[in-house]
Amino acid sequence: MFRPAFYSIIVAATVLAGASQAQTASQFAPAGKETAVTYADLDLSREAGAQILIQRMRAAAAKVCGPAPDLRQMEMHRVYVACVNDTLQRSVASVNAPVVTSLYQGLATTLARD
The stretch 55-76 carries a mean pLDDT of 90
Helix runs in the chain, H state only: 19-28, 47-65, 74-95, 98-113
DSSP label of 13 = P
Digit-coded pLDDT (tens) for 21-59: 433 444 445 556 788 888 899 999 999 999 999 999 999
pLDDT recorded at residue 51: 94
pTM for the whole structure: 0.69
Name every residue whose Cβ is closer than 8 Å to that of residue 58 and which is 6 or more positions away in sequence: 84, 88
Q: Which H or E element spans position 66?
A: none
Q: Three-state DSSP class for 46?
A: coil
